[in-house]
Structure 1
Amino acid sequence: MSSARTAGQAAPGTDAPGLVAALDIGGTKIAGGLVDPFGRLLHQVQRPTPAREDAGTVLGAVHRVLDELSAHPLWGGVRSLGIGSAGPVDTSAGTVSPVNIAAWRGFPIVAEAGAHPAVRGLPVVLGGDAVAMTAAEHRYGAARPYADALCLVVSTGVGAGLVLGGSVHHGRTGNAGHLGHISVDLDGDPCPCGSRGCLEILASGTAIAARAVRDGWRPTGTDTSASAVAEAARAGDPIALASFDRAARALAAGIAATATLVEIEAAVIGGGVARAGDVLFDPLRRHLHTYAALPFAAGLTVLPAHLGTDAGLVGAAALALDELSGREGAG
């Protein structure tokens, strides 16, 4: 399946040197795009992820996305390929091990994508999906005014990335800022990661919905997703409100701990759960007053992300652009 569209004010079909090709690899879909240096998504294609198939079949879907991208008239202006992937990732080795793609464990995505005929010879840059979102929001979105910020994706899981000293902070393997698997409840439930009481099992959309159902919330229809819980909360349902309040409290604890550790100025929240709006942000800001108590952590700004569903592709491109800038500056 493919689709083409123009974002921002860019005009498709015009000469656009300095484009970046981008891949956003997740357990549900593999998206590809062409992004200009201003963060405008000029063309996009998408295929479902054959997540239950073997490694070669998943790679075949990636290559078909690259086939479609490279057939576009703008491909000639592409200078590099950025890849944002569900993780964990290992940027030092160029490998990914997405939790929801069982056949990809230590999969060499940088080498395999770089071997595609249209990509061969181009720089290929890898980042985790939450770090890609952070790069997008820092370069083009809500985190742009801040030298030190935390950007979170709160969706089926919880991912995060850090901006420190005006730059995205990757860490040795590209997993710095992995806030979803920091424990915020020492006696909490076991997490699939092997720890206990992780932020993700308290604040993700999955956790919000499960908590509401466990406490007796029943939807008017058959939808028991976090978005349905948010709709009930907006209508004043006390169980739905309590479920979001618990998630917001867990997020506040994690954000406050980060602010205390590295003195961030802002927290930017994206992902599907952030679309709940005030149902999430009002209790989050309220709980931050309790958890971010020290003077240098208090007053933290909390903002919704700006880039929405485009953040994965725009962020993968931003990572590649950052790498290109670094190389050109070093040259």
Structure 2
Amino acid sequence: MTGDLTLMHTDLVAALDIGGTKIAGALVDGGGRIVVRAQRPTPAQQDGDTVMRAVEEVIGELTAAPLWSRADAVGIGSAGPVDASAGTVSPVNVPGWRDYPLVARVRAATGGLPVELIGDGVAITAAEHWQGAARGHDNALCMVVSTGVGGGLVLDGRLHPGPTGNAGHIGHISVDLDGDPCPCGSRGCVERIASGPNIARRALEAGWLPGPDGDTSAAAVAAAARAGDPVAVASFERAAQALAAGIAATATLVEIDIAVIGGGVGKAGEVLFAPLRKALADYATLSFVQRLTVVPAQMGTDAGLVGAAAAVLGRRADAAAAGV
């Protein structure tokens, strides 16, 4: 993490975790503990202002809490791409938001508090490096594999969001040059193969039949794979192969030694991790990446919130260290 968070300000930071499925908000203390929380479903297929109203409802719940007066900044981890320098977001899975001025809107909704914007994958990376599976590792890739696929990097012991807050966005590395078109405009992206909806889509197209409850989610495909359904197994193996190719490429480029995988698909357990480790051995072949390990995330569904808060605290720590 940037800076030493253990010595940081112990008052509260507001945090928002904005994705294609849910918009979560929280007040987080200096130790990473969530003390107030709120959540709304993301109206992802609605127009931009409708999505923003859901964000404002979450903020409204937070501002109504007695502890709100102690909050002095807001951290946002948003599905991307984001542009931290411009304060805008253009989430692939939220088509109503294109160059949407999220920072300005959140600042207005919170009475003018300073706002720190990073990608959701970077937020999860901040949380996992601060308190989770990447703690103690100086060079790490942390990923969220869910409705989409995002990621973030820790390099030389520091969170590396990049100039716009998108560094490590592994979901849109192409791993299949002639693959299916991706909503981002490219082809054969990791996300197009390994995200939860695409795992389920591929299984259904290959003939997988859901159970009596009609559940066609990736979690249902995972359950079928655990029960030995060959089509479900094959869909997860294909996802694992795409993830392995992206992870190996990242490790070869910047020499990470651990990859942490969270999100709903990451909860599939060995249905995902067994073929992932096998595929990684096929892709991470150079001597300096052969010791790369892949592990499940530890921070759970609160990672985005804790990480958004960590980004604020880390920026504050850097400023203090610089004497600003």
Which residue does 1:182 correspond to in 2? 173
Pairwise CA distance, 1:44: 0.3
Pairwise CA distance, 1:119: 3.6
CA distance in 1, matches of 2:92, 2:250: 25
* 8 Å Cα contact 1:81/1:119 also seen in 2: no
CA distance in 2, matches of 1:53, 1:200: 22
Shift in alpha-carbon separation, 1:301–1:79, aligned structure 2, 3 A: same
Which residue does 2:56 correspond to in 1? 63
Pairwise CA distance, 1:127: 0.8
> In structure 2, which of residues 190, 195, 205 is the aligned counterpart of residue 204 of structure 1?
195
CA distance in 2, matches of 1:58, 1:218: 33
> In structure 2, which of residues 234, 259, 262 is the aligned counterpart of residue 270 of structure 1?
262
Q: Deviations over 1:161-194 (max 9, x none)?
A: 1111111111121111111111111222222222
TM-score (norm 1): 0.90
Pairwise CA distance, 1:79: 2.4
Which residue does 1:153 correspond to in 2? 144
Shift in alpha-carbon separation, 1:287–1:48, aligned structure 2, 3 A: closer
Question: Match of 2:102, as an amino acid?
Answer: I
Shift in alpha-carbon separation, 1:100–1:183, aligned structure 2, 3 A: closer
CA distance in 1, matches of 2:276, 2:158: 26
Q: How does 1:128-277 map to 2 (within 5 A)?
A: 128-221=119-212, 222-277=214-269
Question: Match of 1:60, as an amino acid?
Answer: R
* 8 Å Cα contact 1:234/1:279 also seen in 2: yes
Shift in alpha-carbon separation, 1:29–1:193, aligned structure 2, 3 A: same
Structure 2 residues not aligned, in runs of 5+: 1-8
Pairwise CA distance, 1:52: 4.3
Pairwise CA distance, 1:61: 2.9
Q: Deviations over 1:137-183 (max 9, x none)?
A: 11111111211001111112211111111111111211111111111
CA distance in 1, matches of 2:10, 2:177: 52
CA distance in 2, matches of 1:251, 1:20: 33
Pairwise CA distance, 1:77: 2.2
Which residue does 1:37 correspond to in 2? 30
Which residue does 2:5 correspond to in 1? none
Tell which deviates more after alignment, 74-83 or 265-274.
74-83
Shift in alpha-carbon separation, 1:315–1:183, aligned structure 2, 3 A: same
* 8 Å Cα contact 1:24/1:312 also seen in 2: yes
* 8 Å Cα contact 2:23/2:58 also seen in 1: yes
Q: Which protein, 1 or 2, shows the higher relative CO under an 8 Å CA cutoff with sep ≥ 6?
A: 2
Q: Deviations over 1:255-296 (max 9, x none)?
A: 111111100010000010011101100111111111111110
Q: How does 1:272-311 map to 2 (within 5 A)?
A: 272-311=264-303
Tell which deviates more after alignment, 239-248 or 270-279.
239-248
* 8 Å Cα contact 1:84/1:312 also seen in 2: yes
* Pair 1:19-2:12 in alignment: yes
* 8 Å Cα contact 1:183/1:199 also seen in 2: yes
Q: How large is the RMSD of aligned CA atoms in angstroms?
A: 1.6
- 3-state SS of 1:162 partner: strand
Which residue does 1:13 correspond to in 2? none
CA distance in 1, matches of 2:230, 2:41: 37
Pairwise CA distance, 1:17: 4.4
Pairwise CA distance, 1:22: 0.6
> In structure 1, which of residues 78, 86, 95 is the aligned counterpart of residue 79 of structure 2?
86
Which residue does 1:8 correspond to in 2? none
Q: How does 1:98-117 map to 2 (within 5 A)?
A: 98-116=91-109
Question: Match of 1:87, as an amino acid?
Answer: G
Which residue does 1:5 correspond to in 2? none
* 8 Å Cα contact 1:17/1:78 also seen in 2: no
TM-score (norm 2): 0.92
- 3-state SS of 1:184 partner: coil
* 8 Å Cα contact 1:17/1:77 also seen in 2: no
Pairwise CA distance, 1:28: 3.2
Pairwise CA distance, 1:306: 0.7
Tell which deviates more after alignment, 26-35 or 157-166.
26-35
- 3-state SS of 2:183 partner: coil
